[in-house]
Amino acid sequence: MLEFLGAYPDLASLVVRVLVGALMVVHGYPKVFSKEARSQMIPMMKGMGVPRIGFESAALLETFGGLLLILGLLTRLMSIFFVIKMIGTTALYLTKLAKAPMPMGMLEQQFKQTRGYLKGWELDSIIAAAAVALMVLGGGAISLDTLLGL
């Protein structure tokens, strides 16, 4: 009677993969390809105790791991990496970023308003939860994982 529910996990996987993957690419692309962003972020992260290799690894994971999620290739493996990364960034937020100097610019007021309430880790926890869901669901029927039999 409920056979039509069989397609929903595949659809859920597709939606979560594409949205989380796109979000990661948007966050990672400037860290990899923008000289201006890199010149600002690398010293800032170093000042908070994040080694250069940590910054570079996160940037590559966000950019290329996000693309792999969108395609549904190595979905479970990328999900494990994203869970680990999100645990690390949540720890960074709670220990260092919540105490960092305010950024200048048009978002300064919004940052000041939310920093004291949420500390900035809420997005990372949602991404971690979505990555756990993808570890369970896998890439789904509409993925390169399925097409390639992975």
How confident is the model over 45-69, as pLDDT tens digits? 888 888 999 999 999 999 999 999 9
Q: What is the token pair recorded at 137?
A: 């669901």
**SS3 assignment, position 32:** helix
Q: What is the token pair recorded at 60?
A: 């590559």
Residue 78 CB neighbours (<10 A): 26
Round to whole Å and give the CA distance between 2 and 126.
30
Round to whole Å and give the CA distance between 97 and 144.
37
**pLDDT band for position 34 (cuts 50, 70, 90):** very high
Say whether pLDDT at 92 is over 70.
yes
Alpha carbon 94 to chain centroid, angstroms: 17
The pLDDT value given to residue 99: 63
**SS3 assignment, position 87:** helix
**pLDDT band for position 1 (cuts 50, 70, 90):** very low
Say whether pLDDT at 2 is over 80.
no
Compute CA distances 121 → 19, 89, 91, 104, 126, whole Å. Answer: 18, 8, 8, 20, 9
Owning domain of residue 53? 3-147
**pLDDT band for position 116 (cuts 50, 70, 90):** very low
